[in-house]
Structure 1
C-alpha cells in the first residue's frame, strides 16, 4: 500500500474514532463496544483494502505508552498494600486459567498438541490493560477493588507473555519443565523491574537539567518505549520494565515537574492515550476480515467454530470465578486460623472481580504472532478473536449493572485518614504560616498586609468549611457559579476588544490564559 493511501486510512480511522465515540455516548454504550463493532463493519466496506496487523508492531506501538500511563496514574501506596492480592490475580489466576483452558481445548480438539493447547490458554488468559481501562473508567468502584483490577491489568501481561513463549518453545523442542518455567518467569520479572528502576531514576535526574517544559514532555513521552525496548533487548520483561519505570517516574513527578509542565503534559498525554486506546479497538475490529477469510467465511466459521468458541469463553469465566472465589475462601480460612487479618471482599466484590476479565490487544497480538506452521493456528486465532469479542460485548457492557447490583460500600480501612477538605485546610494553615513569616521585613515592619490578610482569611474559611462541609456546599456551588459567569463575561469582552482591533493577539492570548486558569480553578473547586 502506498504511503499516501496508508496515511489517508489513518486519518479516516481517527475520524471514525470520533464518530463512534460520539455515537456510543449518545446511545449509552461503552466506547470499546462501539469501536470494536465499527472496526468490524469497516473491515468489510467494499473497496477498502484488507488491513493486516503486524503483531510485534502493535505491541511495541500501543502497549508501552498505555502501560506507562496506567502505572503513572495508579495509587502506589495502595498498590504496595494489595501487592499479594494483585500477584494472586496477575500470576496465579493467569497460570490457573492457562491450565484449565489447555485441558478444555485438548478435550475439544484431541488432535491439537498439548503445547498448542497451552499456547491458546496463555493467549486468552490475561485480561487486557487497554480493555480494563476502557471499562473501569466508566464505573466507580471501592478503592480496594479498583487497585486490584488496575494492578492486575498492568502486571498480568508479563505472565501471559512468559507462558506463551514457553509453550511455543515447548512445541519446538518437545520438552517442558515447570521448574524452568518458574525460574524463567522470576528472571524476566526481576530483570524487568531492575531495568525499570534504572530507566525511571535516569529520567528523574535527566529532567531536572532539561529546564524546557516541552523537552520534558517529549522526553517523558519517549520514556515508555525506551523502557520497553530496553527490557526486550536485554531479554527481560519489557512489560515489567515499563510499569516499574512509570511507578518510579510517577513517584518523583511531583517534585521534578513544574506546574506548567504537569498541566500541559497531562493535556497532551490524555489525548495521546485516548487515540491509542480507541485505535486498538478499531484495529481489533478490522482484523475480523482476515479471521473470517482464513476460516472460510461466516457460515463455515459459525458451523465449525461456534461451539468451541462458546466453550472456551465459558471456561475462561468459570476458571476466573473459581480462582477469585477460591482465593476468598483461603482468606477466610487464614483469618479463622489466625494466620492473617485480611478483610474478605464479600460476595459482591468477589463477583465483580470475577466478572471484570475483558481481553483485548495482547490476546490478539499473541495469536497473530504464532508461526504460520504452528499446529492449530487458525483454530487458536478464531478462539482468540471470539474471546475478545465475547468479553468486550458481554462483560464490558454489563459490568456497570453488576456493580449496581452488588451495592458495594467503601470499607472503613480503605478510606484515607483525611478528607480532601481536611487536607486542604492543613495545606492552607501551612501557607498562612509561611506568608505570616515573610510578610514582615528585617525590622519587623509589615510590608505585605494585603497578602497576609488574604491568606489568613483563606485559612480561616477553609478550616471552617472542613468542619461544616454540608452546610457550606450550596453556598460554595453558588459562589463558583458566579465566578464562572464572570469568567464568561470577561472572555466575551476580551474577544470583542480583539475583534474591534483594540488589543493585539499577544494580549488576547495572555489574558485568555488567565481566564482559562481561573475557570479551571472554579470548576475544580466546585467539583
Structure 2
C-alpha cells in the first residue's frame, strides 16, 4: 500500500510540474529534474531508489516504442547516414575520449573501468531529445536526426558498456568476444524486433475491438524486451525495430477507431512516464551523495573534466563528419541540406542532453574490479549524475535561445501546404471516382451531399495556402460550428437534468459532438 501511495505522489508531482512548466513557458524535463533535486531534501517526502532494471526494462521500452511508432520510416531511412554517425560513431568516440581523459587523471584506475563510465555518459537521452526538440520547433530534418540518434544510441552504449565491464572485472575480452557480443546483442535485437513486428502485426490485423488493440499495444514493448533479454540480445534494438515496422504499417493494421484510441492512450502513457522519469532522476541526489567520500576539490576537477569532454567531443565529432561527407560525390547530395550552413550542426551539437539511461547504467557498474584494483564507484556514479543534471538543465534550458540565436530557417509552410493540397486533390479525385461507381446504390441527395463533402475537403487544403492574417472560409465555418456545438450540448444537458432524457442518451449525444469538435480542431490546425 505504501508503494502505491508513493507512485501516486510521484505522478501527482510530475503532473503539477508539467503544468507549471507550460504555464511558465519552460521545458517540462528541466522543471521536473530541478523539482526532484529540491524535493529530495524535503523531510518526509517519499523516496525511491532507482534500480537499473526498472529503467531498462520497465520505463525505457514503452517510451522507445511510442517514439518509434511515431517516427517516419521514409524520413528515418533518408537520414540513416547522419543518424548512424551520431548513434554509433559519436557514442564510441565520446566513450573512448572520456575513458582516456579519466584514465589520465586517475592512472590507478584500469582503462576498462574508465571506458565503462565513458559508455555510461556517451548516449544522449531519447526522452529529453524528443521532448526538447519538438517543444522548441526545430526544423523537421533536425528533429528526425535527433530522434533517430536517440532511438539507436542506447544500444551502442549498452553493448560497449557490457564489453568494458567484462574487461574490468577480469574476463578475457578479445576481438572474438567483442564480435560475438555485437552480433548477439545487435543482430539478435534486430531479429527479435522483426519477429515481434510480424507476430504482433498479424494479431493487430485480426483485431477489430479498439480496447483489445489498446491492450495489445501496451503489451508489445514489454513482450519484445523480455524475449530479447532471454537470449541476451538488445531489448532496445528489438523495441525500436518493432516500433518502426508497426508504425509504418499502422494505417493498414488498425481501424480508424483503434488508431484514435491507441494514439490517445500512448500520449497519456508517455506524458506520465516522461514526467516520472525526470522527477525520479532528481530524487536520486541523496543516494548519489551518500557514498561519495572523495575530496571536494578532486570531485569538482573530475566533474569539470568529464563534462568538458562530453560536451566538446560532440562538436569535435560532428563538424568534421558533417563537412567531410561533402568531399565524397556519392554522399554530397544526401548531406548537403544539413551541412550547409554551419548553424545546423551547431544546434545538433548543443542538443546532447543526457538522461535516465545514463543513471541506470551508472548504477549497474560493478561493485569491485578484478584483482582488487582501485575503483571509485561512488565517484563514477556522481560523475554520471552530474553529466545528466548539467547537460539537461544547462543545455536543455539554453537550447531554445541557441536555436533562436542561430535563426534556423523553419520548414517551408507554404511548400508543405502546397504538397498537401496536391495530394488531397488526387485523393478527392479517387474518392469521387469511387462515389460515381457506387452512386446507383444510394439516394441521389446522399450522393450529392458526399460530393459536396469531397469538394469542401479539397477547398480546405488549398485555403491553407492563403494569407495567415485573414480568416479563411473553413476557419469561419469551424468558429461558427463550434458555437453551435456548444449550444447543442447545453440543450442536451438541460434535458438530462430535467429528466426528459436518460443519461445514456446524453452520453451518446456528447460523444458524437465531441468527435465532431475534435475533427474541427484538427482541421483548424490546433
Answer yes or no: is 1:13 the counterpart of 2:5.
no
Equivalent residue number for residue 436 of structure 1: 436
Gaps of 5+ in 2: 370-374
Alpha-carbon spacing, 1:138–1:467, altered in 2? closer, same or farther (3 Å): closer
Answer yes or no: is 1:64 the counterpart of 2:86.
no
Residues 462-513 of structure 1: CA distance to partner in whole angstroms, max 9, x if unpaired? 4445455306853322221111111111111111111111111110111100
Runs of 4+ residues deviating >4 angstroms: 415-418, 464-468
Name the SS of the counterpart of 2:333 in structure 1. Answer: coil
Alignment of 1:67-466 (within 5 A): 67-173=64-170, 175-177=172-174, 180-296=177-293, 302-335=296-329, 340-342=332-334, 343=336, 344-374=339-369, 375-409=375-409, 419-441=419-441, 447-466=442-461
1:12 is displaced (CA, Å) by 0.9
1:372 is displaced (CA, Å) by 2.2
Alpha-carbon spacing, 1:165–1:485, altered in 2? closer, same or farther (3 Å): same
Name the SS of the counterpart of 2:349 in structure 1. Answer: helix
1:88 is displaced (CA, Å) by 0.6
8 Å CA contact retained: 2:72, 2:248: no
Bigger shift: residues 317-326 or 418-427: 418-427
8 Å CA contact retained: 1:425, 1:459: no
CA separation in 2, counterparts of 1:185 and 1:148? 23
1:306 is displaced (CA, Å) by 1.8
Alpha-carbon spacing, 1:345–1:279, altered in 2? closer, same or farther (3 Å): farther
Alpha-carbon spacing, 1:256–1:466, altered in 2? closer, same or farther (3 Å): closer
Name the SS of the counterpart of 2:160 in structure 1. Answer: helix
Alpha-carbon spacing, 1:152–1:15, altered in 2? closer, same or farther (3 Å): same
CA separation in 2, counterparts of 1:319 and 1:484? 53
CA separation in 1, counterparts of 2:37 and 2:224? 33
CA separation in 2, counterparts of 1:289 and 1:462? 57
CA separation in 1, counterparts of 2:425 and 2:503? 39
8 Å CA contact retained: 2:417, 2:462: no
1:341 is displaced (CA, Å) by 2.4
- With the length of structure 1 as denominator, give the TM-score of the two structures: 0.93
Name the SS of the counterpart of 1:126 in structure 2. Answer: coil
8 Å CA contact retained: 2:98, 2:115: yes
CA separation in 1, counterparts of 2:93 and 2:118? 9
1:183 is displaced (CA, Å) by 5.0
CA separation in 2, counterparts of 1:425 and 1:525? 16
Bigger shift: residues 58-67 or 42-51: 42-51
1:33 is displaced (CA, Å) by 1.1
Equivalent residue number for residue 508 of structure 2: 510
CA separation in 1, counterparts of 2:109 and 2:128? 29
Equivalent residue number for residue 372 of structure 2: none
Equivalent residue number for residue 47 of structure 1: 44
8 Å CA contact retained: 1:328, 1:345: no
Gaps of 5+ in 1: 442-446
Residues 225-276 of structure 1: CA distance to partner in whole angstroms, max 9, x if unpaired? 1111111111111111000111121122211211111111211111111111
Equivalent residue number for residue 494 of structure 1: 492
Equivalent residue number for residue 481 of structure 1: 479
8 Å CA contact retained: 2:418, 2:462: no
1:301 is displaced (CA, Å) by 7.0
Name the SS of the counterpart of 2:262 in structure 1. Answer: helix
Residues 276-332 of structure 1: CA distance to partner in whole angstroms, max 9, x if unpaired? 111111111111110122225xxx775441221122111111100011101122112
CA separation in 1, counterparts of 2:459 and 2:209? 40
Alpha-carbon spacing, 1:303–1:339, altered in 2? closer, same or farther (3 Å): closer
